[in-house]
Structure 1
Amino acid sequence: MSNEERPDSLADQAAAWIPPWQRPAPAPPEDSPPPTDPAPVPPTATAADAEVDAADLGAQVPLQGRFPSKIDVVEERAGGRVGDDGESGEEDSAKGVTGEEVSGRDLRGDVTGKGVPDLGRKRSGARARPVPEPAPELDDAELRGALEAILLVVDEPVSELVLAQVLEQPAERIGPMLDEIAAGFTAAGHGFELRRAAGGWRLYTRPEYATYVERFVLDGQSVRLTQAALETLAVVAYKQPVTRSRISAIRGVNCDGVIRTLVTRGLVEECGTESDSGAYLYRTSIMFLEKLGLNSLDDLPPLAPFLPDDVEELADAAR
């Protein structure tokens, strides 16, 4: 048989072969009813289509007879072979992204890479709070008026730090302004004065008008401390912290009832116990400084001018 009479070879037949899905549909017979539109069927993805989608992502994903899953695509991106947006895997590692971090993320999207998280992007933390604008600085006249108004309504000495926080002004402006206000009250001859007491500032009546103030406030009522209470309070003030037995030894009489009275009035308070005997220790309170108009215990007058001349003889006689 010659080459001209031999039928087409297998290679020619394979080249001329048309797949069934590419063959034209046969024409319907003339007497058949017109076809109705079938329900749309989603196209079936093929291995070739999946390879094209993987190529769009910039990754060569081995299919191994199946479609690449979302985990496969992301692991391929995080494994160092292909970086985000065509970058190398070393650059992804420099950005601090590892395969373990990617596997724990929420992967939402299809095989084309939609919804795949950006591996090089760092998620920011909590939203930063807006920084409040600083309060406007008051001029001297307004600051003076604000301080005077506050000092008129306080019922206990107020510190410079508290005043600075309330007025939202620098603390270094408060002290000099209070000194200026106090000097102004004194120069003007007012019946009250501004002075430090118990670690703060408060308005007080002047000592020269104490008689009139006492007459108005007391109105015939006596609220003075007894002589025993005054002596006990003096011992506590100069010997604090001190126990009741020590006070009784100094005064020569029992002082338990007087101590209870002073504690009830808020002039004396407990401040722990003695390490050896376990007895309660007593000291003067902030109210004591406030009532006497003292800023600290260092302002107490010295005892030497009030001691008798023969104090040594009295001490020897007591022995």
Structure 2
Amino acid sequence: MSDEERQDSLADQAAAWIPPWQRPAPPAPAPADQPPPEPEPAASEPDPVADLGGERPQEGPISAPISTVEEAEPEPTPDLDTEAPDAGPDRTKILEAPGEREAAGAEDAAPGGPEKRPAGRRRATPAPEPAPELDDAELRGALEAILLVVDQPVSELILAQVLEQSPERIGPMLDDIAAGYTAAGHGFELRRAAGGWRLYTRPEYATYVERFVLDGQSVRLTQAALETLAVVAYKQPVTRSRVSAIRGVNCDGVLRTLVSRGLVEECGTESDSGAFLYRTTTMFLEKLGLNSVDDLPPLAPFLPDDVEELADATR
């Protein structure tokens, strides 16, 4: 046999050769009592190469001679990040900007879209019902009961808040109560003091009250303390050196005593010298039963007749 005939026979054998994975499986022998089952179409297995977007070479007999078959170069696998179809949800939609989300929310809230309640909004609580208005007799009794237990003057605004009544009714009612006490001749009276209202004993019964309250255990202010307190009351705000100059003696210790008892307090410094300024306190007005320092009696009736001669003598 010549070489050309041998090559033709080898080419024919190669063309007729079937790979083992393409050969049909031999049918299993069927039992004698049962008919042979009908052949089912083989399920197509997923082709990994076709899923990745490539093309599988056509199957069939190899027509080229064995000596002339060249190895096919593998096709490049497509980039899964850029060319894979249907790779999942679009990342650009997942990582959308906050402005786009707000715009989408505005579209949803537009007429015809689904209504959404704004976050953080709470239901409006109903307003409390106003307190019932007291009649004059009940309001009068409530005011008298409160004034009997207070330990310092109480303002009309506080009384109105406690009783839940209009402040415009409190003032006239207190004036009416004070006038009634005076007309009835009670041993106490209701008057304004330190910006508020409080019950006080009448001055004509002060002797009996002192005898009951003091009973020999009173702690009185000294003459120096009374003089210093009077100077501060009429000259306030005043410095310590000014008080000492008026009295003619050093008043440092006396002023410290008055401050410790709450009758005098500091109220800033003098702009020129930087010395501390002193004034009377609310307790001072409360103890004297005054509403303000303007209610202090004038000094002219208490001055001596020869005050000008005494002033010239001290110069």
Q: Percent identity?
A: 83
CA distance in 2, matches of 1:122, 1:170: 43
* Counterpart Cα distance in 1 of 2:35 and 2:239: 125
Per-residue CA deviation, residues 37-79 of structure 1 (Å, 9 max, x unaligned), is: xxxxxxxxxxxxxxxxxxxxxxxxxxxx97998x98xx9xxxx
Distance across 1 between alignment mates of 2:145 and 2:313 = 58
Separation in 2 of the partners of 1:134 and 1:169?
A: 10
Equivalent residue number for residue 295 of structure 2: 299
Q: Secondary structure at the match of 2:290?
A: coil
Given candidates 193, 196, 200, the residue that maps to 1:197 is: 193
Paired letter, 1:293:
G
User: Which amino acid is 1:205 matched to?
Assistant: T
Q: Which amino acid letter does the alignment assign opposite residue 108 of structure 2?
A: D
Quote the offset at 1:278 in angstroms. Answer: 1.6
Distance 2:209 2:117 in 1: 70
- Listed as ranges, the matches of 1:56-135 within 5 Å are 99-103=100-104, 118-120=108-110, 121=115, 123-124=117-118, 126-127=121-122, 128-135=124-131
Matches of 1:171 and 1:188, distance apart in 2: 26
Name the Cα RMSD after superposition: 2.7
Does 2:306 align with 1:316? no
Q: TM-score by structure 2 length?
A: 0.65
Q: Provide the aligned length of Structure 1 versus Structure 2.
A: 225
The unaligned stretches of length 5 or more in structure 1 are: 1-28, 33-64, 76-97, 106-115
State the distance in 2 between where 1:126 and 1:274 align.
54
1:118 shift after superposition: 3.5
- Aligned match of 2:41: none
Q: Counterpart in 2 of 1:169?
A: 165
Alpha-carbon shift at residue 309 of structure 1 (Å) = 1.4
In structure 2, C-alpha distance between the alignment counterparts of 1:129 and 1:282, rounded to whole Å: 51
The Cα offsets for residues 213-236 of structure 1, whole Å up to 9 and x where unpaired, read as 101111112322111111100000
The 3 A distance-change label for structure 1 pair 101 and 217 is same
Deviation at 1:315, TM superposition (A): 1.3
What amino acid is aligned across from residue 118 of structure 1 in structure 2?
D
Q: Higher relative contact order by CA 8 Å / sep ≥ 6: 1 or 2?
A: 2
Superposed, 1:250-289 pairs within 5 Å as: 250-289=246-285
Query: Shift of residue 242 of structure 1?
Result: 0.6
Alpha-carbon distance in 1 for matches of 2:35, 2:199: 115
1:145 paired with 2:122, answer: no
Give the match for residue 47 of structure 2.
none
Structure 2 residues not aligned, in runs of 5+: 1-33, 38-84
Instruction: Tell me what 2:156 maps to.
Output: 160
Give 3-state SS (helix, strand or coil) of 1:270's partner: strand
Aligned counterpart, 2:5: none
User: Amino acid of the residue matched to residue 121 of structure 2?
Assistant: A
Kindly indicate whether the alpha-carbon contact (under 8 Å) linking 1:102 and 1:119 is maintained by their aligned counterparts in 2: no
- The SS at the match of 2:262 is coil
Assess if the C-alpha contact under 8 Å between 1:267 and 1:288 holds in 2.
Answer: yes
Deviation at 1:314, TM superposition (A): 1.4
Q: Quick one: distance in 1 between partners of 2:218 and 2:154?
A: 29
Q: Is 1:210 the counterpart of 2:206 in the alignment?
A: yes
- Displacement of 1:30 after TM fit? 9.5
Q: Which whole-Å CA distance do the structure 2 matches of 1:221 and 1:30 have between them?
A: 133
Q: What letter corresponds to residue 244 of structure 1 in structure 2?
A: R
Residue 238 of structure 1 aligns with an amino acid whose one-letter code is: Y
